[in-house]
Structure 1
């Protein structure tokens, strides 16, 4: 952002773009410290090459300089050539300066695949309450990595992933059962609230169930946000093949090179050749992801959300997917409005100009990220504030919330009785 005293205009009153000052991208950089020779210098050179800038210091943050998930992939490829070391792309999101990434490379091996752990630290540093991002049906939370550049740097960000990736024997009877496991996971990182939850697709249903459990335990949930999360009552379409599923979540365009029904080994090899985030997935990982995807979809259809005493829901809906439904595409739930019966408070819907599958793409997150960050900052100003349930004669919003709470209590009592 460049501050000017006034906007220059042409004689006819339009903005004179040629007279605008050139943005100073150097202003966001830390005080320059030359990178040390060796790996640190190689990382700095890879950052500079990917970002198209002349110089990167040892303490310069890759994302503050304009990096994103696509350019991070280019950095990993460049480092593979220059230092002949496999650098997982997700390392760049957690170690985003040449100094910290060089230290990670020197102290870890590429075989240390912590990218499939239940808690994925997209940014582990910061002194504010973390943002926890719940995976979509595919079970991986890598898609949230692009949020790092939009959420304030003093807020940690964790992705929550399927436990089956690290423990093939794990089993959950229901979506509520899975949500209970995830609540235990986030409390191992943050023992007390307020909590901030974001879910994508089916992850939104899981996040809602997590919020309900936290509230029943007396914890404060300051943020519940969903990215195109619909309530599913049935699944008309057949389950996708493993090839089609990989094409969707890994953005693989070369499916024609595979057989109609490829093996997990063949798909894993294709991902390895493609490089990037998903090149570290093994055939066993892919098999687990596919089985978990099918089970999670079934659990989501069978799931009945609890009534959640929460102030607001932040909802990001896909404009293009809604347009497809109106134009004869598959019928389904309409998204944000589905949740009005399960939330005490307001639903703030933001329409994102992309498809459901591309919500976490760079263009999608470029819209979602700043809105989410502003929301997190605003709720931080009133964290811990509760509505006065006895003051039903107050403003209309409190009165409405009191009525809904009473109605929810009656519904829950009737459900337990039946």
Structure 2
């Protein structure tokens, strides 16, 4: 089943990302009594692209970023990376549902984490994928760095590009598993990444089309509504 909502006529403003954090589970907002949402890093491994999400999500909901460890360890497969992040997530979220969100490569990884958590008997709540395509997930690390603006520490460019290159190799070898549940797939105008998820989702794929799925001025309220 697919539900399509076209919001491409709405005007958006660009995100102003904050400095990226170092920990694997980076706190974006720790206060609140609702089940938290974990935002999974894109190809370059950092989570400053999610800085604008907190403005639009219920103040009672904690938000965490999931990004590459400072140790520089590299997983041998995307499934292994998902399992490692699942370990970290359950250390933070010890009970209740786990909500996941991912942008681009991060969406493929968020889906893999969701499959891993379900395999452990852990409840996955909302799974939100932004401009994420399991079939055409390849992207150029340099382009991603450029899109992140001037706020990132440029002294880490080589390290970030190395992470992007490794993650790109992982996603090319990855065959997604089956997620049992519904997903929200938000795509930028000119793409339809949500349709590509049907073979890997046993549930409803709700699709939205927006001018820029990386901007939370429209995407943020959609995410908040889906989490509720």
Q: Which runs of 5+ in 2 are unaligned?
A: 1-13
Cα contact 1:233–1:302 (8 A) shared by 2 = no
In the other structure, the counterpart of 2:111 is 208
Q: How does 1:215-234 map to 2 (within 5 A)?
A: 215-232=118-135
In the other structure, the counterpart of 2:39 is 133
Structure 1 distance, partners of 2:97, 2:170, is 28
In the other structure, the counterpart of 1:305 is 176
Q: TM-score, normalised by structure 1?
A: 0.49
In the other structure, the counterpart of 1:293 is 164
Displacement of 1:69 after TM fit?
5.7
Corresponding residue to 1:317 among 157, 164, 187: 187
Runs of 4+ displaced beyond 4 Å: none
Distance 1:245 1:153, change over 3 A: closer
Distance 1:126 1:304, change over 3 A: same
Structure 2 distance, partners of 1:304, 1:128, is 32
Structure 2 distance, partners of 1:233, 1:146, is 26
More strand per residue: 1 or 2? 2
| Higher RCO, Cα 8 Å, sep 6+ | 2
Q: How does 1:188-199 map to 2 (within 5 A)?
A: 188-199=91-102
Cα contact 1:212–1:307 (8 A) shared by 2 = yes
Displacement of 1:120 after TM fit?
1.3
Q: How does 1:369-384 map to 2 (within 5 A)?
A: 369-377=220-228
Displacement of 1:287 after TM fit?
1.8
Q: CA RMSD in A?
A: 2.1
More helix per residue: 1 or 2? 1
SS of residue matched to 2:59:
coil
Say whether 1:350 aligns with 2:211: no
Write the deviation string for residues 327-382 of structure 1: whole angstroms up to 9, x where unpaired.
xxxxxxx411111111111100011112xxxx33xxx21111111111111xxxxx
Cα contact 2:47–2:65 (8 A) shared by 1 = yes
Cα contact 2:44–2:145 (8 A) shared by 1 = no
Displacement of 1:245 after TM fit?
4.4
Cα contact 1:138–1:249 (8 A) shared by 2 = no
Cα contact 2:135–2:196 (8 A) shared by 1 = no
Corresponding residue to 2:59 among 153, 174, 177: 153
Cα contact 1:315–1:350 (8 A) shared by 2 = yes
Q: How does 1:3-402 map to 2 (within 5 A)?
A: 70=16, 89=18, 115-163=21-69, 166-168=70-72, 170-232=73-135, 239=140, 242=142, 244-250=143-149, 277-278=151-152, 281=153, 283=155, 285-310=156-181, 312-319=182-189, 321-322=190-191, 334-354=192-212, 359-360=213-214, 364-377=215-228
Structure 2 distance, partners of 1:207, 1:343, is 13
Cα contact 2:32–2:60 (8 A) shared by 1 = yes
Write the deviation string for residues 174-201 of structure 1: whole angstroms up to 9, x where unpaired.
1111111111111111112311000100
Displacement of 1:286 after TM fit?
2.0
